Structure 1
């Protein structure tokens, strides 16, 4: 299938070009009463004095007032003009430029508008004169002239922060916070919404998630240096997919026509990681255009990074226990001390081939590949406490247990994520200003765990252990680190081995086409846009789990013989000595084929799913004076089918049935988007939209997974009746843009949520083989009502009005306040109203920068407040929260003016930790520190 798709994608540009040429006759022959003046118009580019494109520039015909905005490559299409046309080009950071063009009737006239030319203006009038400010100018102009509410991050802006992946880059955008893994950003929360509420695309191709448990895309898989710019749409137009309640992120890669010449750039450097050691990063991009008329272009980009990470981590499981005195206290049921040794690599390859035989016809093939790999060894000390052994005198902060179970474990886990996209398409601009485009795309995401192997030893000693959280609840004291029973290697015996591997693949194929047609309706110019899209996605998840406690499967060496002489430490806790990774890996290789039969829950974990989405839309855009109005409707039909093994009353050894779910759903998404120019600098916006978030695939398939660990039993249960979340959205805001390159803005939003999905955790009794056990259950359900509302405040400005050297200073500052609540159909723990998981009430970003004479520097600070992660149905004291986190970063560089630049980065100067807690901050569940990182390198550009 993939080969056939690749051949189809490669041939699409040629097919499209032929079809567009044939359609030219039909479109040009359309009646003049339905279209703008036939055969009149301008097509062109807006460039800087050095020939680089200026995206977001506003082009206005002085006579008619017709307006166009240049795209990311500085290109624009201005229909309905002819004769002597005086164009006015406006771009924040550069003086307004005018140019007179003779537009020949009956055909499109090509023009290049140059701004910031030294012949036209004094150099002092040009504000865009540095790497930081050039990036700011590109972003601000695109934001200012967009129809909806968007934010744009340019490659230049991204390069001024120490952000190795796309998630970390996005945390600088107003209203966006990130969720981290081992200190590095992975998922984004836009405007306080869950990460699954945001769709991600690369060059317009929807990216399927790699994690089977969510539709949210692991953005740490995508390195930031493949990016040309990132566009975040916080309000959607009818022409955009509706599955982005919070916002849509489109990552655009570079094009060979960005510079239209031989261009080579790259960087390389290394760093010191406080909790890991040396890191390396490097990347290069080369592009060129070919042919007598520069009609062909090609680009290739590659990046690579390797990071060694050794974070410190402690996890503590809390519960409520009855004391010997008859009272009740919060007490630990287990403590896990984790000593990580991880090598994380990330690499990407992207490229494009483009054919532009004329300014009005283009075709392309673009592709990208990104790979993320984590190779992790984890030495772990486990302490398990039994309520029956709780001693007198316990409080919520300290306690003593007798007969504590002590275990040591080594886990070797390898995780690999891969994301591939390929798209082929074309665009034709007709002489009457109509634009037709079509594309065929393929995307594939795959997450594999080739191995998650575990070897567990248990000590025969059952010591008394006292813990005390009265001092630091992050690093409490444990008596065992003074008495040292866990260090006695002779007392450990083989307890268990476990082998797990899994592969989840999501493959999506998409065809879409759009037609934009200018017309005159009731004396008013109206631009119609219609289109259709078909997306089909196949999902498969396969997991293997094996486990053995048979003494015959124990290692031939004793526990002590498997240890090295290197201490395993976590904060100030001495956990013992590290396992010999090589010896344990040899054991894993020997024992895996002999580890016993597959456990039933691994069969139930497997599933397949197929989702087809057919959508169509129509929208009209027109101007009423200084007001731009977009009005339209989108319709999306979703057909879903999935199946999983039905293992109820079956341990997996007998033949089993497959449980299926089939669904068909059609939703309508009306849209009204208004942009009003109170003046050239003051812009008002208003939008009424509707959007959707479909259920996660693993939640909607009819699975029932049972996991047992001794007497601990838990169930994960799918819900085939789970409904998509729908949101009716209201957005409005004001933006004031400074001629001195800056903006002050305020944007408010309200989202009315229906059928919000959340994970419910609760406890119940189960009967197995006639015996009754306590079990934990986890299932997704819908909350009938909910809302998400907030306010974004943003200020960024270069202080060019200051005298002399002080004019190089500038500031980026934004603050987002959100309030959210969901209301459940029934009470849990006496509650029917909850905070929205993933929503921080406050989110801050502040950056001070300086740029002058080739030198640039930026000090940046980001912070988000606490947020709810999981709801506990039985007891609000055990709702799981993530503690707010702040981080301070610094970057600096010097450009020698010959294409060579040296730079340095310092990340997490505050040495901030990642913390999760149950109900109250004093009940710390996880405390993890990552340290700081210092990186030095060199960039080059030709």
Structure 2
């Protein structure tokens, strides 16, 4: 292996020999060497592989100074002069050195190419496979970062059967995902709630799509638009402070990744165990042009369409008194859902860049992602608590007379859109100072163009027995034997409901950073100062309509609206499916006949504006093998929100008004981050940081919203006094990097939480503004105390030390243990200490891979333990928990060596279900299965 070094304006190639990176000398001698050179002298440039692709995470050292290349392979180093010996170290490639002359008082431009064309055989290159290339890029960036980070490269992402960014991130140590219909949507880092993680695309903060949380719906973003994903688990002062758990930055591709005409793409289709089809495809084109190839352009498009037909049963539990006078757990209702869902995902990214030299770059980048879920849901609803319990019933088996039986078709269309635009530049001055800035705009929109419901009720009031004594996931229900629900002649029109809503979030931001090398006494110190302004506007508008007039119902009978296909859920026969076309025609004609529901169509609306002004300063210096960053960030938050409200006056009349909230908070975020190299391979890290999570917009505005699910009615009310959650964080860890390609690491963390924000659900009868509501009532409040702590263990290694065929195997394994709790200001149901919602105690990932010549294969397993989703203020038996889930996936590919690669993916081979339960697993609330998926496709690259 050789290192090619290009120096100066003429860019003269020099062929370098191999060298071993020397052991770090004592700190005093290194500091003395660095102090003898003026800070304005040094080198800047980039490091590439033999094909010209940038190498991120390369450690470049000289005269006691150290620099690390960014994702574009760029670096700059000040404080060196004269005859400088540059040393470049990259895990997976041999270390190389070379002398270069740096003129006094000047910054000298260099280009280093690891893996020169003179390498004569594959044996010269340690990194020689798609999986190992991805691992090498990730490990080098992680090893040389100042803080604790994890990196997923595009190569690594492509080796897993993960259609979106959330699914890709579940492979990272300490990250678990929350799913919707079996597909990952939100991430939990280190057991923290999903809202504790900020997400950005190319450095642009992405507003949430879902108005109910600040967490970003990562299922909207397909994984194939990604160049790499960087997860910062400890923050620096230069980063936004709103990431208690971690910050995720999704970086899209750059035309300067290859610096030539480049075309790549893929396409394929799949088989779904539960029916339907899955097609995916993507194309990326980029090129550089101009007299000196100083301009670059890139365009990328991705498309996928999936049909999903999961089986789903929901059971609403309560406590009832039997005719015998005994209190038991009993079902209020059973809801059987037969889904037909078409889910499409599209993404478009583009970029223009101008790099007249290695000291200057300007860019404009944009991305657009659209997620659409078009869902028909045939439902059978059994309502027990409107009937009469029969004597002899118990908590596992009960019989009810006069059970209400209903059939419903819901047609719901959900559309999520995420758009980001950014323009900026960076320049390295002759004295080594670096100035960068950007202007950005980001917009998200979640809309439900239609949420239409048609409900029929049977005249029959049968006796129904349910039995959970056997399989509590799939209990028996007597009605599927007696089949009263199958008598179509007994159903009459009950209700038509229409609901549409749109939530838009728009954020503009501007930031500037100045990095300035200097001398503080006899110590070389790099100062970094900056400021940022972010302004986000949120608007939410909802409309609700309903009619129960018989004359507004369909002209057809219930039976005439049914099709020929049976509607099944697991082994339960629900009846026949509705004819979607006929029902949609009825919806179109009936919408204008329905009455607007007031005040529900008004009180759901709200507006909010949040302005954040931030400034920071940090200093970074090296003392021998130790790098220290110390600094302070200050963020001022101004918030204004308003929502319509209806209150009942003394005369019993509803009075309309606008309720408003205004907030102004300033918080300080001190930071100390230390990285120490005990040796070339053993790295230690320590960090003391502070971070924040601001309240969700819909929780802080003063509004009250009614929600219905089947026959259940609940109310959500905002809390204008809600405080942001603050966290003081302690992190420390050790990482040992193997000489071949791998790492063994342990990272411990402790987060001291104040004013943790959680939602309590209260019982059946609630008084609000003088009105008594017979429904559940949920409101967010702060818990004064809380903590989150744990440890991450991670092992990645290619078994190159083994003989023969065994050397082609490797392993990825990680385990995270977390312990967390919150302590409330008052007791609820005799409790004042709770598990942290969203926190799994155990999280595992294990993958075994094989790579030889053009063949790559990986078998991966992931699992997380149970976690709390919702706290019940009245009774711990009705805390809502999510059952832990495991999944086994497999992917394999063969590269023919001519730019063509065939691949196959198998997902959820364990046929794992999604389960929620109240209190104990036997009281199953939701049981949903998705089946497995097999995907085959072709990739190409030019």
TM > 0.5 between the two? yes
SS at match of 1:721: coil
Does 2:48 correspond to 1:47? Answer: yes
Deviation at 1:653, TM superposition (A): 10
SS at match of 2:689: strand
Superposed CA offset, 1:578-619 (max 9, x none): 000000000000000110123312210000000000000000
Does 2:590 correspond to 1:591? Answer: yes
State the partner residue of 1:674. Answer: 674
State the partner residue of 2:80. Answer: 81
State the partner residue of 1:250. Answer: 249
State the partner residue of 2:262. Answer: 263
Does 2:941 correspond to 1:941? Answer: yes
Kept after mapping to 2: 8 A contact 1:500/1:544: yes
Kept after mapping to 2: 8 A contact 1:36/1:525: no
SS at match of 1:807: helix
Deviation at 1:292, TM superposition (A): 1.1
Aligned counterparts, 1:300-319, within 5 A:
300-319=299-318
SS at match of 1:102: strand
Kept after mapping to 1: 8 A contact 2:335/2:381: yes
Separation (CA, whole Å) in 2 of partners of 1:278 and 1:653: 54
SS at match of 2:171: coil
State the partner residue of 2:24. Answer: none
State the partner residue of 2:546. Answer: 547
Does 2:515 correspond to 1:512? Answer: no
Separation (CA, whole Å) in 1 of partners of 2:771 and 2:226: 58
Separation (CA, whole Å) in 1 of partners of 2:713 and 2:255: 57
In the superposition, relative to structure 1, how do residues 894 and 801 fare at CA in structure 2: closer, same or farther (>3 Å)?
same
Separation (CA, whole Å) in 2 of partners of 1:35 and 1:664: 48
In the superposition, relative to structure 1, how do residues 103 and 707 fare at CA in structure 2: closer, same or farther (>3 Å)?
closer
In the superposition, relative to structure 1, how do residues 551 and 896 fare at CA in structure 2: closer, same or farther (>3 Å)?
same
Deviation at 1:426, TM superposition (A): 0.4
In the superposition, relative to structure 1, how do residues 36 and 194 fare at CA in structure 2: closer, same or farther (>3 Å)?
farther
State the partner residue of 1:501. Answer: 500
Deviation at 1:804, TM superposition (A): 2.2
Deviation at 1:105, TM superposition (A): 2.9
State the partner residue of 1:18. Answer: none
Does 2:928 correspond to 1:928? Answer: yes
Superposed CA offset, 1:427-454 (max 9, x none): 0101111000010000000000000000
Aligned counterparts, 1:870-885, within 5 A:
870-885=870-885
The TM-score, its normalising length taken from structure 2, stands at 0.95
Superposed CA offset, 1:302-331 (max 9, x none): 000000000000000001110111101111
State the partner residue of 1:299. Answer: 298
Superposed CA offset, 1:207-262 (max 9, x none): 00010000000000000000000000000000000000000000000000111111
Separation (CA, whole Å) in 2 of partners of 1:747 and 1:126: 31
Deviation at 1:375, TM superposition (A): 0.3
State the partner residue of 2:487. Answer: 488
State the partner residue of 2:57. Answer: 56
Deviation at 1:38, TM superposition (A): 5.7
Deviation at 1:802, TM superposition (A): 1.4
Superposed CA offset, 1:855-903 (max 9, x none): 0000000000000000000000000000000000000000000000000
Which stretch shifts more, 150-159 or 274-283?
274-283
Does 2:436 correspond to 1:404? Answer: no
Kept after mapping to 1: 8 A contact 2:39/2:519: no
State the partner residue of 1:625. Answer: 624
State the partner residue of 2:433. Answer: 434
Deviation at 1:907, TM superposition (A): 0.3
Separation (CA, whole Å) in 2 of partners of 1:348 and 1:898: 28
In the superposition, relative to structure 1, how do residues 524 and 603 fare at CA in structure 2: closer, same or farther (>3 Å)?
same
State the partner residue of 2:747. Answer: 747
Aligned counterparts, 1:610-689, within 5 A:
610-649=609-648, 656-689=656-689
Aligned counterparts, 1:767-778, within 5 A:
774-778=774-778
In the superposition, relative to structure 1, how do residues 210 and 396 fare at CA in structure 2: closer, same or farther (>3 Å)?
same
State the partner residue of 1:892. Answer: 892
In the superposition, relative to structure 1, how do residues 469 and 411 fare at CA in structure 2: closer, same or farther (>3 Å)?
same
| Structure 2 segments unaligned to the other structure (5+ residues) | 1-33
| Structure 1 segments unaligned to the other structure (5+ residues) | 1-32
State the partner residue of 1:232. Answer: 231
State the partner residue of 1:808. Answer: 808
Which stretch shifts more, 75-84 or 888-897?
75-84
Separation (CA, whole Å) in 2 of partners of 1:917 and 1:652: 40
Kept after mapping to 2: 8 A contact 1:320/1:329: yes
Deviation at 1:571, TM superposition (A): 0.3
Aligned counterparts, 1:63-102, within 5 A:
64-102=63-101
State the partner residue of 1:26. Answer: none
In the superposition, relative to structure 1, how do residues 771 and 814 fare at CA in structure 2: closer, same or farther (>3 Å)?
closer
Superposed CA offset, 1:27-56 (max 9, x none): xxxxxx999726522111111122221110
Superposed CA offset, 1:470-518 (max 9, x none): 1100000000000000000000001000000000000000000000000
Number of residue pairs matched? 908
State the partner residue of 2:383. Answer: 384
Separation (CA, whole Å) in 2 of partners of 1:341 and 1:278: 12
Kept after mapping to 2: 8 A contact 1:37/1:432: no
Which stretch shifts more, 699-708 or 897-906?
699-708
Deviation at 1:760, TM superposition (A): 0.7
Q: CA RMSD in A?
A: 1.8
